[in-house]
Structures are given as structure tokens and as C-alpha cells.
Amino acid sequence: MPAGLFTIHTFGCQMNEHDSERLAGLLREAGYEPSPAPEESDLVVVNTCSVRAKSEEKLFSLLGRLAFRKKRRAFRLAVVGCTAQIHGERIMARVPEVDYVLGPESESRLPELLSRGIGKAVALEQSAAWRESEPRTVPRASPASAYVTIMEGCDNFCTYCIVPYARGREKYRPARLVRAEVESLVRDGYKEITLLGQNVNSYRDPEGGLPFSGLLCDVGSLAAGIWLRFLTSHPKNFGSDLIAALKTVPALCRQIHLPLQSGSSRVLKTMNRGYSRDDYLGLVSSLREAMPGLELSTDVIVGFPGETEEDFVATLDVLDRVRFANIFSFRFSPRPMTAAAGREDDVPLSVKKRRLIELQALQKGIQHERNRALVGTERTVLCTGVSKKGGPFFCGRDESHRVVNFSWNGAVSPLHRFLSVRISDCGPYSLRGEGLGFSPA
């Protein structure tokens, strides 16, 4: 008989997705089981994101629905993660049905609070050093792809960003624990490992000083024959040792997420990004030289305070020059505590919207053109699931993280395996093709 049934709702980035997996592992160890139907849960956890105002609006609308449900059926309600850290007990004041508010570094205490029968709690610890709180087994969302956390927090204080307040200062996980986790994932047959952190390339092993480039080489030797990625790296921390490491780690996918934010040096300065437009473009050239065939993706913010039409055109120009495989683009959203929140949010909403549409239209054309160039080629794909159309159509990702939908007539399921796909067609956001057979990574 389980201690109870739980459901976790997750908002936000990959860090949060992985935190939810780990929390699910800790809850299972405490005797809880995932609920087959959310409305039958004895415990509902909401893992939250604060990066834009919209993320918080979605949270409060979900909490409203959960509070209504709680009037008809009793269950425990926990709000964990970044918004918990930012708003603390104010969440309980606004939604009294919430039982626990636990920040990212406190959420692993949830099983203990439940077992001790503590009815209401707010915990918002932020520590200076790494604290390991892994369950014995992490129930990962995919049996093929795994996230491995190497660091937490951020010291960069980009003027728009709430993450340093939500996640605290940078804390690095000992390299021996990272290596042990990667080894066990490889043993368990995982095909893709992503090293995770807000700023992975500022990593330094707290027990020996090994930099990120060294960790990557170590992990790369353990991950031979599978795909290795890292997320997110900051352009200002991409040193020559790391560029050199790209050449020596065969497991590394030729794909890097390299947030640009703006193509205007003036805006980058007011964002406190620590690089200019020319630094960024120079880095892109060095990376492409070190790793031929490298594909880049990025993040862009439009409508940052003071962004002129000229600044915006400079961003479009960088997109034109770099020709990213994919971008994530956002309208600036003022966040509490950040330096930019003290500045006038002077770009009108209509201008922000127009700029976002223009940027996305430009990128759509670039992506479509780049995808068309792949028609007729064969790509190695890691199959991640059955396509929305159902079998015999499947979907997956190629090395550059493009979505690939493909037909498959083999007798053995391609799920969670590498295979070769001949690309026959494409749209701006995906490739389509025919699975030819299994292949090495």
C-alpha cells in the first residue's frame, strides 16, 4: 500500500524538468507512487518558473484550479522551485490552500515534511556550496535521454534575469559525482546525456579545480558511442581550452546552444552580458573552425529597455550572418529585483510584438532554407517517440537537435535507438523522411 499518490506539474527550463524527475525519485523512496489520474492525487506538487511574468500568471491560474479542487477532495499542495523562492509565504497569503512553499534548494525536504506530518511549511534555503540530494534512482522521463546536473545557480546578474535570485550563487557538483552518474547512465543504456546548469562553462570542480573543459574530456571518454551535449554555455566564458576540447571529444554533438540575447553591442552592455556583437561573431567563427558542421541555437530578447530600431536591426543582422538552426525568442518582461526592472520599460507592447513577429519570420525563412539543403541527405536520428500520426510514423532528433519525423517499416521498434533516416521533405521546424535501418551514434 503506497503512502499516497502524487502528481508533479512542471513549468520552466530543463533544470526544472530534471529537478522534478529527482523529486519524483525522492517521493518514490518515501513510499509515494505516481498517480494514474491527477485528480486522484494525495499530493500535488507544482514546480515553478519565474523567468517571465507570464510563467507566474500560468502558475496562479493553475493554483486557482487546484484550490477549487481541494474544496471537494483533500490533498496536499506543494509549490516548489523558482517562484517559491522569489515569493515565499506571499504564495500562501494569496492561495491559502497551498501547504508547502519550498525553494529549489529546499524541495528535497518535501518527503521528510510529509513523513513528519508537518502540515504547513515554507523553506527557502540558499547555500554557498553544493549539497547532493539525489535519490538512489532518478525516474527519468525518457529511457534514452538523460540530464545530469553539474552546477546550480548563476553569478552573472544579466540585468533582465531573475535566475540568480531564484537559484542563488553558482555551486558546482563534485566531478567524481558527475562521472559516477554518467558511468551508471551509460551502463543502463542511455543514448544521449546532457550536462546541465545555468552557466555550465564557468564550472570548476570544488574538490580539485578541474575546469569545464577537463570535465567534458573526462565525461566524453565515459560516453564514447553515445551523444553528449551541454546546456547552457555563456559566450563570455567560452575560453580557448573549451574550444580546444571540442576537437578532442568525439561523443560531443556538433550542436551548441549559445544565447545571444541581442545583436547590438550597446544593448548587450546594458544587459551586462560581458561580450560585444563582434566578440559573439568572432566566437561563432572560432567554434565553427574547431568543429566543422557545428549547428548553433540561441535565445533572443526583443524590446529590452532603450532598444531602438537600429539595435533591433543589428539583432536581425546577426541572425542573418550566423544562420542559427533554431532560436528561442522572447519579449522583454520586467522581473522583480533585477536591475532592468528599475529602468523604464519604454518599448511599447505593440513595438515589442511587431519586432518579435519580424524576428521570427526572418528565422523561419532561414530555417526553412537550411532544412531544404538537407533534403536528399541521410541523417542519424535518435528516435524519441511515435509521431502524432501514430505508427508506422515515428519522431526523433538529429545530432543538431532538429525534429525529424519518419516512416519505419522494420520489424523491430526503432524507439529509443539510433537509426539512419533519408530526408525527403521538410518544413521550417522539422524534417521528414524514411527510416533506413539502425545505425551507430
| Residues at the site binding ligand SAM, with contacts judged by CB under 6 A | 13, 51-52, 160-161, 163, 198-199, 232, 234, 259, 261, 299, 301, 330, 332-333, 335
Closer CB to ligand SF4, residue 108 or residue 198?
Answer: 198
Prior bond of 348 cis (ω within 30°)? no
Q: State the Cα–Cα distance between residues 179 and 182, nearest whole angstrom.
A: 5
User: Would you say 61 or 350 has its CB closer to ligand F3S?
Assistant: 61
Q: What is the CB-side half-sphere exposure of residue 231 using CA atoms within 13 A?
A: 20
Residues 31-70 that bind ligand F3S (CB under 6 A): 49-51
Binding mask 195-234 for ligand F3S (x = CB under 6 A): ----------------------------------------
For ligand SF4 (CB under 6 A), the number of binding residues is: 10
Least separation in angstroms between CB 164 and ligand SAM:
10
C-alpha–C-alpha distance, residues 87 and 61, integer Å: 16
Q: Which residues touch 376 (CB under 8 Å, ≥6 apart)?
A: 422, 423, 424
Which of 5, 8, 15, 84 is in the footprint of ligand F3S by CB under 6 A? 15
Task: Pick the closer one to ligand SF4 by CB: 111 or 259.
Answer: 259
**Window 197-236: contact mask with ligand SF4 (x via CB under 6 A):** -xx----------------------------------x--
Q: Which does 256 bind (CB under 5 to 8 A by kind): ligand SAM, ligand SF4, ligand F3S, none?
A: none
Cβ atoms of 211 and 203 within 8 Å: the answer is: yes
Give the nearer residue to ligand F3S in terms of CB position, either 86 or 318. Answer: 86
Distance CA 439, CA 15 (A): 30
Q: Answer for the pair 38, 7: CB distance below 8 angstroms, yes or no.
A: yes
Residue 157 contact, options ligand F3S, ligand SAM, ligand SF4, none, Cβ 5-8 Å cut-off depending on partner type: ligand SF4
- The correct pick among 59, 114, 163, 219 for binding ligand F3S (CB under 6 A) is 163
Which residues within the stretch 122-181 sit at the binding site for ligand SF4 (CB under 6 A)? 154, 156-158, 161, 163-164
Query: Would you count residue 300 as binding ligand SF4 (CB under 6 A)?
Result: no
What is the spatial distance between Cα 276 and Cα 234, in angstroms, rounded to a whole number?
A: 13
Computed over its alpha carbons, how large is the radius of gyration of the chain? Answer: 22
Instruction: List residues bridging with 438 in a β-sheet.
Output: 419
Alpha helix stretches (DSSP H) within 8-131: 14-29, 53-72, 82-87, 90-94, 110-115
For 185, the grid coordinates are 547512465
Cα separation of 163 and 8, whole Å?
21
Query: Could you write out the DSSP letters of every residue in 409-428?
Result: --SS--TTSEEEEEEEEE-S
The CA distance from 225 to 382, in Å, is 13
- Say whether 140 sits in a helix, a strand or coil: coil
Candidate segments 13-21, 117-125, 318-326, 371-379, binder of ligand F3S by CB under 6 A: 13-21
Point out the residue whose Cβ comes nearest to ligand F3S: 12
Detail the DSSP E strand segments found in 86-176. 100-102, 121-123, 145-149, 151-152, 171-172
- Binding to ligand F3S by CB under 6 A, coded x per residue (else -) over 64-93, reads -----------------xx-----------
Choice between 333 and 384, CB closer to ligand SF4 = 333
**Closest separation in Å from C-beta 368 to ligand SAM:** 23
Query: How many residues comprise the chain?
Result: 441
Of 191 and 234, nearer to ligand SAM (C-beta) is: 234
Output the nine-digit C-alpha cell for 317.
Answer: 543582422
Q: Hey, what amino acid is at 275? A: Y
The answer to whether residues 91 and 84 touch, using CB atoms and an 8 Å cutoff, is: yes
String of contacts with ligand SF4 for each residue 231-260, x by CB under 6 A: ---x--------------------------
Give min distance, CB of 124 to ligand SAM, in A: 19
Paired with 242 in beta bridges are none
Binding residues for ligand F3S (CB under 6 A)? 12-13, 15-16, 49-51, 81-82, 162-163, 166-167
Contact residues toward ligand SF4 (CB under 6 A) are 154, 156-158, 161, 163-164, 198-199, 234
